[in-house]
Copies of this chain bind each other. A is one copy, B any other.
Amino acid sequence: MGTKLGIGLLGLGTVGAGVAGILQAPEGRHPLVAELELVRVAVRDLQRPRPIELRPSLVTNNPQAVVDDPSVQVVVEVMGGIEPARTLIMRAIAAGKAVVTANKAVIARHGEEIASAAAAAGVYVLIEAAVGGGIPIIEPLKQSLGGNRIERVSGIINGTTNYILSRMAQEGVAYDDVLKTAQDLGYAEADPAADVEGFDAADKIAILTGLAFGGPVDRDSIPTQGINNLQSRDVDYATQLGYRVKLLAIAERLNSDAQTSQSLPLAVRVQPTMIPLDHPLAGVNGVNNAILVEGDPIGRVMFYGPGAGSGPTASAVVADILNIAGIRQLGEINGSLDPLLAASSWRSCHLVDPSAILQRNYVRFNAEDTPGVIGRIGSCFGDRGISIQSIVQFDASDAGAEIVVITHEISQGQMQDALTAITSMAEVKGLAAHLSCL
């Protein structure tokens, strides 16, 4: 098999230590794992105790030294954050080295820049670990599902929020209490904002969108609603109505007849969503992730598994390294490579205005318990051509009447109109919740 492939790790935290663990114990794995050699590792704090034993000469606190080391052929960036990660990735590419990264934040924001640089340099940048932890989803979208016209990608792609939502549904616990336990158990960070406010899921759906539909979209324009304002009351009502609340990231083509020559309109968003119990995503609990891909002619496929954690994420990183090792085994390659996002830049895509997004809605109003209020709220929807699937009054002794409405599919612009009209009704005290609904 010739000389080993030199691997340089940037970071030896949760993911980095997992990767080093696999490389140190190749037995029973794909035979190419034994052809990988960990030659350099960067950390921030040289004194910190590590779960992995490494020759001290391997470890440095200068990440640039790892990138520049001539024995490093593949740079594995598992340090996180935007900088210096981005600069180090660009430096590796410029040096003609392959890059593997788990860093969704960098790829969601600088993916295009990185992909063009990689294409120009003829090197690979692979990102399987950036979405879905151990679940293979990047490769399927790039290749195994390539024969399809993708209609929609939707998924539970943040394990922390799914853990919180699962416990809220199963035990009726309030958001703040579950978050605290999740932090104690290490399932949520001390600063949980990126997870609970939906930004992590938005990074990931931005990446999946580019791969599924063939063109990058502006990460910062993705409408994003987290679970931090979700009330356990709505989780309970969801259960009573036959739904589960999940933080769902969705990307779908809006006009399925659009010519490929025009820019493709996409509706992309992250939001708490009521999922009917018989939907395959409804049963995804705990820190698991699942991604559903719908397309023609495949129909629906779902990928399910551990969305984070040392071992699963390291599994995805090593998959990418093996990919590079396999290509290298093909011998000297004379043509140009197909780096990461090249295959995702064959078409122009754009995000539609949020008011054009079509979806079913769950809304909850606080209202006075006066006769006929349900009818008047219903008419307000009906007058605007919004058909309703169900309208239910729940008794919330503390809050007067609570009226929950589930609509059929409607544009968010029309929905806003109706909500404005309803909340200005004298007997309606306010809009207490507005979720999306599958």
- Judging by beta carbons under 8 Å apart, are A301 and B303 in contact? yes
- Judging by beta carbons under 8 Å apart, are A28 and B333 in contact? no
A146 at the interface (CB under 8 A from B): yes
**Which of A38-46, A188-196, A336-344, A418-426 contacts its partner?**
A336-344
Give the residues in chain B near A140, CB-CB below 8 Å: 136, 139-140
- Judging by beta carbons under 8 Å apart, are B134 and A299 in contact? yes
- Smallest CB-CB separation from A311: which chain B residue? B297
Give the residues in chain B near A394, CB-CB below 8 Å: none
- Judging by beta carbons under 8 Å apart, are B335 and A315 in contact? no
A62 at the interface (CB under 8 A from B): no
Number of interface residues of A (CB under 8 A): 66
Given A22-B147, A304-B304, A331-B335, A299-B318 contact (CB < 8 Å): no
A323 at the interface (CB under 8 A from B): yes
- Judging by beta carbons under 8 Å apart, are A335 and B332 in contact? yes
A251 at the interface (CB under 8 A from B): no
B143, B305, B309: the one contacting A139 at CB < 8 Å is B143
A335 to B144, CA, bound (A): 24
- Judging by beta carbons under 8 Å apart, are B333 and A314 in contact? no
A310 at the interface (CB under 8 A from B): yes
Give the residues in chain B near A330, CB-CB below 8 Å: 327, 330, 333, 335-338
A144 to B140, CA, bound (A): 10
A270 at the interface (CB under 8 A from B): no
**Which of A29-37, A105-113, A202-210, A370-378 contacts its partner?**
A29-37
Q: Is the interface of A mostly helix, strand, loop or mixed?
A: mixed
- Judging by beta carbons under 8 Å apart, are A28 and B305 in contact? no
A51 at the interface (CB under 8 A from B): no
- Judging by beta carbons under 8 Å apart, are B28 and A314 in contact? no
- Nearest-CB distance from A117 to chain B (Å)? 19
Given A29-B146, A139-B144, A146-B319, A304-B333 contact (CB < 8 Å): no
A300 at the interface (CB under 8 A from B): yes
A260 at the interface (CB under 8 A from B): yes
Highest count of chain B CB atoms <10 Å: which of A29, A128, A214: A29
A233 at the interface (CB under 8 A from B): no
- Judging by beta carbons under 8 Å apart, are A301 and B305 in contact? yes
